[in-house]
A and B are shown apart, each in its own frame.
Chain A
């Protein structure tokens, strides 16, 4: 289940989308999210959907892989659709069977909202699928840099994020080890009532927290002796490189926006 879920995962690759600067991708996705709300008729929603499919193709992500990984979210989309069918009662009746009545507006609204939701999920998934978490962090840090003037600790937040990302696999391994150690001591994590299972998790969490704090302390010492004194006067090893393709991506977005504004009613 965890392996199949791809929301938030990164798959390395070399497509046009993969090679974009994280900044242009972040700007693009952010603007796209705003632009989605300009769509208000069949033509504009069709454009959005087509554009998203085109992006998927450019990123060289297999459709089957993508939709398979997003199954739980597609279920949510289907649910939204159904809710609209049932509860929106406007316009002429399209279909009637016993007590079920589907109205034209219900159908239309349901499809529009579903497309909107689907397109948003797909676009953000493409972002995370094609950009490593650390690049996203770098991109965010650079983009949010002006906010430092407002005393927002941008550098610290970015460092926190990159360290958390770096420690996820380490803590996963640790959880696994502790789990095995507790199983060996006869603790049972898989059977019993919900209450019993929650109780069984406590002996997992306590050692995990203790070791995480120990790690945090060690790491803080290791950082300090290597000269870490906060963001002041620090240089960056990771350089972001804005290229022609990033400009193209934003120009393409401009064209999409013009099309949407022109087609909307």
Chain B
């Protein structure tokens, strides 16, 4: 991605001044779930969206996939304005994985579930079989073809859900807290799979997450607060504003907190440490530099 500013990468998604309010009988209560959101995502980017509970992250995902429509502003997906007419076409070009592994498993076995989106889009049987196998191979679940959902772990179910999205060969993959209900091992499995995919296929990923490790993997981070975009930037830029993030109820990576505390204790360290490795490296070499 070391291209000069002249050659712009293809735009995948852009929001312009998008606002949304959930319809509610109680007028007093109807607060804007999203207010004046604008950003652009380009091909091959990995975007992380963070924000406190109720900051509108899921609402944003639902607008992008066309489950809800904005009250104000426009959403452009694949350079087309999202509307009722092109909704199904646009949906067939992106995949979304939700939080609860159980509630999005439609098929009675792993392969049925992966084929579900293909069936819906009228892909002929002969083409479905290789696609299902390929998608399952991408998430390393090819040996589970005939397994039933209740015999799979949460992480495995989420990988199947990702395979289900990949089977349609999407240009954009949205993960709405796809790892939040998993144990650390399941979370690692899923993140690793997405990372690998991104490297191999250059997929554009929009990941809504509370997991800081996932945030560090992203190219850019969008911080949401009370329905508004608070900041957009690289993970380093975002975590630099540590206090601000903590003020809106977000956590910081453990290494950053540690490095902060060490600095407060008077140990001289240079700048921020986003990963434990960076911090360890600085710490064990710090005496040599003296």
Chain A interface (Cβ within 8 Å of chain B)? 133-134, 162-163, 165-166, 169-170, 173, 214-215, 218-219, 221-229, 233-239
Residue of B nearest to A163 (CB): B106
Contact of A237 among B95, B96, B118 (CB under 8 A): B118
- A165 and B111: CB pair below 8 A? no
Closest to A226 in B: B117
Task: Give the top 4 A-B pairs by smallest Cβ distance, nearest first.
Answer: A218-B103, A237-B115, A222-B104, A227-B120
State which of B65, B104, B119, B168 has its C-beta within 8 Å of the C-beta of A218.
Answer: B104
Chain A residue nearest in CB terms to B94: A225
Report the minimal beta-carbon distance from A214 to chain B, rounded to whole angstroms.
8
Contacts of A229 in B (CB 8 A): 88, 120
New A-B contacts (19) at CB < 8 Å, excluding given A163-B106, A166-B108, A235-B124 = A134-B108, A134-B109, A134-B112, A165-B108, A166-B148, A169-B148, A170-B150, A173-B150, A215-B102, A222-B103, A223-B106, A226-B106, A227-B120, A235-B128, A236-B119, A237-B118, A237-B128, A238-B112, A239-B125
**Do A237 and B119 touch (CB < 8 A)?**
yes
A235 and B106 within 8 A (CB): no
Does B186 touch A at the CB level, under 8 Å?
no
Report the nearest A residue to B100, measured CB to CB: A218
B interface residues, Cβ below 8 angstroms from A: 65, 67, 88, 91-92, 95-96, 98, 100, 102-109, 111-112, 115-125, 128, 132, 148-150, 164-165, 168
* B149 surroundings in chain A (CB, below 8 A): 166, 169-170
A162, A226, A238: residue with the most chain B Cβ atoms closer than 10 Å? A226
Name the one of B120, B123, B125 contacting A226, with C-beta atoms under 8 angstroms. B120
Once the chains are docked, how many angstroms separate the CA of A173 from the CA of B124? 36
A265 CB → nearest B CB, Å: 47
A96: min CB distance to chain B, Å? 59
B102 touches A170 (CB 8 A): yes
Residues on A with C-beta less than 8 A from B125 are: 235-237, 239
Q: Which residues of B contact A228 (CB under 8 A)?
A: 116, 120
Supposing A166-B108, A170-B102, A222-B106 touch, asked if A234 and B120 sit within 8 A by C-beta, the answer is yes
| Contact present for B122 and A235 (CB under 8 Å) | yes
- Measured CB to CB, the nearest residue on chain B to A165 is B108
Bound form: Cα–Cα A219–B128 in Å: 22
The smallest beta-carbon distance between B194 and chain A, in angstroms, is: 18
B117 touches A166 (CB 8 A): no
Residue ID in chain B nearest A135 by CB atoms: B108
Q: Shortest beta-carbon distance, A213 to chain B, in Å?
A: 11
Q: List 9 A-B pairs, Cβ < 8 Å.
A: A133-B108, A170-B149, A215-B103, A221-B98, A222-B106, A226-B95, A227-B120, A229-B120, A233-B122
The CA of A235 and the CA of B122, in the complex, are separated in Å by: 5
How many Å lie between the Cα of A162 and that of B88 in the bound state?
24
Flag if B115 contacts A219 (CB, 8 Å).
no
Instruction: Report the nearest B residue to A223, measured CB to CB.
Output: B106
Tell me the minimal C-beta distance from B153 to chain A in angstroms: 13
For the complex, give the distance between the alpha carbons of A218 and B95 in Å. 15
- Let me know if A219 and B106 touch, CB within 8 A: yes
Would B150 and A169 count as touching, CB distance under 8 A? yes
A214 to B102, CA, bound (A): 11
A242 to chain B, nearest CB (A): 15
- Per the bound structure, the CA–CA distance linking A215 and B104 in Å amounts to 9
Nearest-neighbour CB distance to chain A for B206, whole angstroms, equals 14
Can you name the residue of chain B whose Cβ is closest to the Cβ of A215? Answer: B103
CA of A226 to CA of B103 in the docked complex: distance in angstroms? 13
Closest Cβ neighbor of A234 among chain B residues: B119
Contact (Cβ within 8 A) B91 A225: yes
A239 to B124, CA, bound (A): 11
Please report the C-alpha to C-alpha distance between residue A149 and residue B165 in the assembled complex, in whole angstroms. 33
Chain B residues with CB under 8 Å of A162's CB are: 108
Residues of A near B105 (CB, < 8 A) are 166
Contact A218 B106 (CB under 8 A): no
**Chain A residues near B124 (CB, 8 Å)?**
235
A100–B260 Cα distance when bound, in Å, is 96
B88 contacts which chain A residues (CB < 8 A)?
227, 229
Q: Which residue of chain B has the shortest Cβ distance to A162 in the bound complex?
A: B108
Contact residues in B for A223 (Cβ distance below 8 Å): 106, 116
CA gap between A237 and B119 in the complex, in Å: 7
- Chain B residues in 8 Å Cβ range of A235: 118-119, 122-125, 128
Report yes or no: B102 in contact with A222, Cβ–Cβ below 8 A.
no
How far apart are B102's CB and chain A's nearest CB, in angstroms? 6
B109 contacts across to A, CB distance below 8 A: 134
Instruction: Write the chain A residue with the least CB distance to B117.
Output: A226
Q: With a CB–CB cut-off of 8 A, which chain A residues contact B67?
A: 221, 224-225
* C-alpha spacing A162/B116, complex, angstroms: 13
